[in-house]
C-alpha cells in the first residue's frame, strides 16, 4: 500500500514539475499582450464590411465556433465583419506581469497556486503538451483585468425575450460593482484593500433598480483568495428587508429568472477548483470586439450624459448589433467536478485580453444548451472616464438558450471609476443600509 501511495505521489509531483517546468520570458509577455504586433489574422472573405449570413456561413465555418455557426445557419443573426484591432491592456497590469514573471506556480491540486503577486500569472503560450495548460488559462482569467481594480456598470439593462416571437417579457435595470481586494495594480489602495482578515480576493455587488417585483434586491458575492474555499454570497430581498445567506447551489441556478447563472457572470464566475480544465488549442475566430462609439446605437434608454447603449437585432432581438473581428482565441474546456446542471462549457478566450467572450454551454446529456456572447468595446471609444484605462469594456451580452428558444440580452454602461465603487460597498452591512 505504501508503495502505491509513493508511486501516486511521485506521479503527481512529476506532473506538477512538468507543468511548472517552463519559465516564461519577457518575450512571452510581449507576445501575450501584443499578439497583433506583427500583423493581424486573416481568413478568406473575412474583410471589414463583409457580412456572414445563413447563405454564406459554410464558407466561414472555420472562423466561427459551433454555436455561432448554428445561430447564423438558422438565420437568426448576421455577423458584420470589422477590422481586427489591438485592445492594448492596462500598462500597470503589464508591468506587474513583467515584475512578477516566473514567480507563480501551480500547486498540487486544481485550485492551488503559489507565489502569485499580480499581473498575468502564466503569460506563456499554452501548449497542448502541458497537461495543466487549461488550468493556467483559468488562472489567467481569474487574475485577469476583467474590470480592473474596481469599476461599475450603472445602469445595466437586461431584457428577457422569446427568441421565436421576439416578445419582450421583462426588463431589469441593475447596478453592478466589482472590486479586487487583492492583486491590485493601479488604483489605491495598491496592492490590496486592508484590513482583510478573511483574505478575500474579489467582490461583486449587484443591485436591482427595476422592475417592481425585484426592486431593491441586492446580491453580494465574496470570493476568497484561497480558491479551495467556497464563495460567500448574500442576497438582500427588498420586500423582506433582510439579508439572506445564499446556498452554494444557487450559483448554478437561473439568476432572477434570466438565462444566466451567477456562475456565468463575466464569462465565468466560479472557482478554478470547481472545474476540470483542458486546453483544446488555439484558433482564429470571430469575436464581438468593436469600438462602441462607432456602432449604430440604441435609443432605448436615455442617459443624462447622452450615453447610448448598444442596440440588439436579429431573431427575437437577441443579438448585438455590433461588428465582429477575427481574433486569436484559446479554446478551453471546463467540466464541472461537482453536481451541476451543466455538462461542460467550451470557452473561447481572447488571447490578448484573456477574457472569455464566446462560450458554449452543454447540458448533462451533451447537447448544446446555451450560446453566450460578451461583446467588448475598446475603452478609448467609449465613455470619457474609460479612455486610456486599458480595460476592455464589457459592453453587450447575449445569452441564448438554444433549447428553449429564449434569450437574455444585456446593455452596459461600464465605468472604470473607482470612486463609485468603494470597498465599503462589498461588505454585507452595505446591503442593509438602503431602504
Partner 1 sequence: MKYSNQLRGSLKSKWALLGAILLALGASTAWAEALPEGGDAANDDGSITDVYYENDTRFRGDDATGNNVGLSKFRNTLQVEADRRLGSSGWEFHGVFRGTYDGVYDLNKSEYGKNAGGAINLQSTTPGGFISTPYGAGPVTNTVVTGLGLPGNAFVDSYPNSPNEGLRVLGDRWHGLDGGVAFGVPVRPCNTDSRGCKDFGGYGDQDKNELASPEFNDRLDFIREAYVKKTFDLADNKQLFVKVGRQQVVWGRTDLFRVLDVINPVDYSRNNIYDELQDIRIPMFIAQAEYRMGGSDWLQEQNLQVVWNFDKFRPNNLGQCGTANVILDAGCLFRGLNNLWENGGTVANFANVAPGTLLATNFGAHQIGLANVDLPEWSLENTQLGTKFEGVTKGGVNFSLNALTYRSQLPSLHGGKRSVNGFTGVNREYNPYLISFDMVYPRVNLVGGSMDFQWNAAKSAVRMEAAYTSGEEFANTNKEKLFSRNHVFRSVIGIDRPTFVPFISETRTVLFSGQLFYQHIFDHERDQGRLGHTGMADWEDNFIGTLLIKAFLKNDRLSPQVIFAHDFNAESWVAAPQVEWIASDKLKFTVGANVKWGNDESKYKVDDCRSCNPWAPFTAPQGDPATQFQSFSRGLSGLEPLGRFRAGPIGTAVREDEIYFNMRYKF
Residues contributing to the site for partner 1 (CB under 8 A): 155, 157, 160, 169-171, 173, 193-200, 209-213, 215, 222, 230, 232, 234, 239-250, 253-254, 256-259, 300-302, 304, 341, 363, 406, 422-424, 427-429, 433, 435
Instruction: Closer to partner 1 by CB, 246 or 396: give it.
Output: 246
**Smallest gap, in angstroms, from Cβ of residue 368 to partner 1?**
14
Quote the CA–CA distance of 216 and 237 in Å, as a whole number.
Answer: 7
Helix (H) or strand (E) holding 397: strand 393-401
Quote the CA–CA distance of 255 and 236 in Å, as a whole number.
Answer: 14
Instruction: Closer to partner 1 by CB, 56 or 199: give it.
Output: 199
Instruction: Closer to partner 1 by CB, 20 or 171: give it.
Output: 171
Q: Cα 177–200–336 angle (5° rounding)? A: 85
Helix (H) or strand (E) holding 242: strand 242-245
Alpha carbon of residue 190 to chain centroid: 23
Which residues, at least 6 apart from 22, have a Cβ–Cβ distance to it below 8 Å?
124, 127, 130
3-state secondary structure at position 19: helix
Instruction: Closer to partner 1 by CB, 171 or 381: give it.
Output: 171
**Smallest gap, in angstroms, from Cβ of residue 283 to partner 1?**
29
Q: Helix 91-99 and helix 26-33: axis angle, to 10°?
A: 160
Instruction: Closer to partner 1 by CB, 346 or 431: give it.
Output: 431
CB-count burial class (<10 Å; 0-12, 13-18, 19+) for 435: exposed
**Smallest gap, in angstroms, from Cβ of residue 427 to partner 1?**
5
**Smallest gap, in angstroms, from Cβ of residue 314 to partner 1?**
20
Q: Could you tell me which of 408, 402, 255 has the C-alpha nearest to residue 318?
A: 408
Q: Where are the alpha helices (DSSP H) in 39-110?
A: 66-73, 91-99
Instruction: Closer to partner 1 by CB, 128 or 169: give it.
Output: 169
At 78, phi and psi to the nearest 5? -120, 140
Instruction: Closer to partner 1 by CB, 3 or 429: give it.
Output: 429
Instruction: Closer to partner 1 by CB, 194 or 293: give it.
Output: 194
Q: Helix 133-142 and helix 2-20: axis angle, to 10°?
A: 60
**Smallest gap, in angstroms, from Cβ of residue 434 to partner 1?**
9
**Smallest gap, in angstroms, from Cβ of residue 317 to partner 1?**
14
**Smallest gap, in angstroms, from Cβ of residue 10 to partner 1?**
32
**Smallest gap, in angstroms, from Cβ of residue 289 to partner 1?**
28
Amino acid at each position: 500500500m505504501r508503495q502505491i501511495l509513493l508511486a501516486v505521489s511521485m506521479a503527481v509531483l512529476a506532473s506538477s514539475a512538468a507543468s511548472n517546468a517552463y519559465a516564461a520570458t519577457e518575450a512571452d509577455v510581449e507576445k501575450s499582450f501584443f499578439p497583433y504586433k506583427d500583423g493581424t489574422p486573416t481568413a478568406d472573405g473575412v474583410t471589414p464590411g463583409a457580412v456572414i449570413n445563413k447563405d454564406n456561413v459554410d464558407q466561414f465555418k472555420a472562423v466561427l465556433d459551433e454555436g455561432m455557426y448554428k445561430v447564423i445557419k438558422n438565420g437568426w443573426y448576421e455577423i458584420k465583419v470589422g477590422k481586427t484591432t489591438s485592445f492594448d491592456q492596462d500598462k500597470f497590469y503589464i508591468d506587474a506581469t513583467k515584475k512578477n514573471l516566473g514567480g507563480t506556480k501551480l500547486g498540487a491540486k486544481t485550485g492551488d497556486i503559489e507565489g502569485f503577486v499580480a499581473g498575468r500569472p502564466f503569460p506563456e503560450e499554452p501548449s497542448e503538451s502541458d497537461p495543466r495548460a487549461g488550468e493556467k488559462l483559468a488562472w489567467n482569467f481569474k487574475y485577469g483585468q476583467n474590470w480592473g481594480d474596481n469599476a461599475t456598470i450603472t445602469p445595466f439593462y437586461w431584457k428577457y425575450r422569446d427568441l421565436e416571437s421576439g416578445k419582450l417579457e421583462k426588463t431589469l435595470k441593475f447596478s453592478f460593482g466589482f472590486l479586487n481586494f487583492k492583486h491590485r495594480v493601479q488604483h489605491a489602495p495598491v496592492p490590496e484593500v486592508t484590513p482583510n482578515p478573511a483574505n478575500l480576493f474579489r467582490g461583486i455587488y449587484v443591485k436591482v433598480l427595476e422592475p417592481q417585483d425585484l426592486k431593491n434586491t441586492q446580491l453580494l458575492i465574496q470570493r476568497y483568495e484561497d480558491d479551495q474555499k467556497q464563495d460567500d454570497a448574500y442576497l438582500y430581498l427588498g420586500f423582506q428587508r433582510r439579508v439572506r445567506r445564499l446556498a452554494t447551489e444557487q450559483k448554478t441556478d437561473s439568476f432572477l429568472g434570466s438565462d444566466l447563472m451567477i456562475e456565468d457572470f463575466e464569462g465565468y464566475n466560479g472557482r478554478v477548483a470547481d472545474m476540470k480544465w483542458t486546453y483544446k488549442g488555439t484558433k482564429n475566430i470571430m469575436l464581438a470586439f468593436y469600438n462602441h462609439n462607432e456602432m449604430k446605437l440604441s435609443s432605448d434608454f436615455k442617459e443624462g450624459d447622452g450615453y447610448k447603449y448598444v442596440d440588439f437585432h436579429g431573431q427575437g432581438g437577441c443579438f448585438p448589433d455590433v461588428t465582429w473581428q477575427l481574433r486569436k482565441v484559446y479554446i478551453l474546456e471546463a467540466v464541472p467536478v461537482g453536481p451541476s446542471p451543466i455538462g461542460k462549457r467550451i470557452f473561447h478566450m481572447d488571447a490578448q485580453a484573456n477574457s472569455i467572450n464566446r462560450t458554449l454551454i452543454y447540458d448533462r446529456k451533451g447537447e448544446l444548451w446555451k450560446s453566450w456572447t460578451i461583446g467588448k468595446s475598446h475603452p478609448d471609444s467609449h465613455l470619457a472616464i474609460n479612455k486610456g484605462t486599458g480595460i476592455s469594456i464589457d459592453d453587450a451580452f447575449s445569452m441564448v438558450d438554444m433549447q428553449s428558444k429564449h434569450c437574455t440580452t444585456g446593455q452596459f454602461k461600464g465605468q472604470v471609476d473607482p470612486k463609485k465603487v468603494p470597498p465599503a460597498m462589498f461588505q454585507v452591512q452595505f446591503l442593509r443600509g438602503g431602504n
